[in-house]
């Protein structure tokens, strides 16, 4: 009897564990299906990630374009081009941009939204919904979601939320993954550099004017106190020459006397008073029609070249109450944009 039989081992047991025949078939039957299924799952996962990334990119592009075109509802949603002269009016930022909703003393910002697919438009819809609908029309069909606009005074933003059904090919998807919901969203801030510069400039201008008005008010109070203490100050005075008229304007308006070089007539133009706003003031006591014509041409040249922002002619009456201003001259001055003021 052989040694293996003596030890109690069955014949062929060693051959079963040590023989490599059929191992490739066994590995192919167990491992390759798992690798194949894992590959399909990775492909499906890649499609899901790509679809969500594509939705997010579409939402971001739509939000950025809508925020960029927010200043004019007539702009093309894709290119930003607008027809010549087309606009939303002068006060749309106050009346039609959702700003009045902020006056309800609420902590929540004013929010306006439209749904996708595009809901039916109505006559009560304002500019905000019209802009959002124009942005929604540029989106691919089959998408659902919401386009909204939020106005919180300084911070204004456009939000885009999109959702869709991603259809995975049957060959690489299980029955539960053939139609997978996907979503993406983005937001963009509405920036209006022109309006910001205009608002800052307007604020600076009126703050300076307010400061000057307060200073002028205090000066008037001091003058009234001086008049009450010294009645002789309140006595009326009369202008007796053009030099006195120019001195009176320089004292009351402020500014300085300036000479400008001219090309139309003569070599230069004397401006009696050029105020801080760039307005030229001219004092007239007695005036020759020929001289008035030459000075008119010079003032028109100064305004055309932008050397002054405007021209004002001040006419003072003589002792007998007459002024050197005819109706023809006044009409000609006003036609050329020159303001006429008659002092009594």
On whether the CB atoms of residues 213 and 204 are closer than 8 A, the answer is no
What mean pLDDT do residues 292-317 have?
87
pLDDT in tens, 65-79: 999 988 888 888 888
Residue 162's closest CA among 188, 197, 136?
136
pLDDT in tens, 22-46: 677 777 778 888 888 888 888 878 8
pLDDT in tens, 159-181: 999 998 777 666 555 555 556 67
Checking DSSP bridges between strand 110-116 and strand 144-152, what pairing results, if any? Answer: antiparallel
pLDDT in tens, 108-137: 567 888 998 876 666 667 888 888 988 888
CA-to-CA distance for 207 and 209, rounded, in angstroms?
Answer: 5
Q: What does pLDDT average to over the chain?
A: 78
Question: pLDDT at residue 139 above 80?
Answer: yes
Tokens of 208: 């300076």
Candidate CATH numbers 2.40.360, 3.30.450, 3.40.1350, 3.30.420; the one for domain 239-343: 3.40.1350
Confidence at residue 53, expressed as pLDDT on a 0 to 100 scale: 92
- Per DSSP, which regions of the chain are E strands? 110-116, 144-152, 155-167, 179-189, 256-261, 268-274, 279-284, 310-316, 338-343
Tokens of 41: 């799952």
Distance of CA 89 to the CA centre of its chain: 14
Confidence at residue 233, expressed as pLDDT on a 0 to 100 scale: 46
């Amino acid at each position: 009897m052989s040694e293996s039989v003596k030890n109690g081992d069955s014949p062929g047991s060693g051959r079963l564990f040590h023989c490599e025949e059929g191992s490739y078939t066994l590995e192919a039957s167990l491992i390759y299906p798992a690798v194949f299924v894992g590959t399909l799952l990775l492909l499906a996962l890649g499609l899901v990630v790509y679809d969500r990334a594509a939705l997010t990119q579409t939402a971001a592009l739509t939000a950025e374009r809508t925020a960029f075109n927010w200043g004019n509802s007539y702009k093309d949603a894709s290119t930003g081009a607008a027809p010549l002269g087309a606009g939303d009016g002068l006060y749309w930022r106050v009346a039609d941009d959702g700003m009045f909703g902020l006056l309800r003393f609420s902590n929540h910002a004013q929010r306006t939204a439209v749904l996708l697919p595009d809901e039916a438009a109505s006559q009560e819809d304002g500019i905000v919904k019209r802009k959002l609908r124009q942005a929604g029309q540029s989106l691919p069909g089959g998408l659902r979601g919401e386009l909204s606009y939020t106005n919180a005074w300084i911070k204004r933003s456009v939000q885009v939320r999109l959702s869709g059904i991603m259809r995975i090919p049957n060959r690489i998807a299980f029955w539960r993954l053939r139609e997978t919901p996907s979503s993406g969203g983005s937001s963009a801030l509405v920036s209006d550099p022109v309006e910001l510069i205009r608002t800052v400039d307007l604020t600076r201008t009126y703050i300076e004017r307010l400061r000057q008005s307060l200073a002028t008010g205090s000066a008037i109070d001091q003058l009234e106190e001086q008049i009450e203490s010294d009645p002789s100050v309140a006595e009326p005075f009369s202008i007796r020459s053009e030099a006195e008229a120019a001195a009176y304007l320089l004292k009351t308006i402020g500014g300085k006397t300036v000479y400008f070089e001219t090309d139309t007539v003569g070599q230069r133009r004397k401006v009696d008073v050029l105020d801080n706003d760039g307005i030229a003031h001219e004092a007239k006591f007695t005036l020759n029609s020929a001289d008035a014509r030459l000075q008119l041409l010079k003032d028109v040249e100064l305004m055309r070249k932008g050397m002054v922002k405007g021209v004002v002619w001040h006419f003072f009456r003589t002792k007998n109450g007459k002024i050197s201003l005819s109706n023809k001259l006044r009409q000609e001055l006003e036609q050329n944009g020159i303001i006429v003021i008659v002092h009594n």
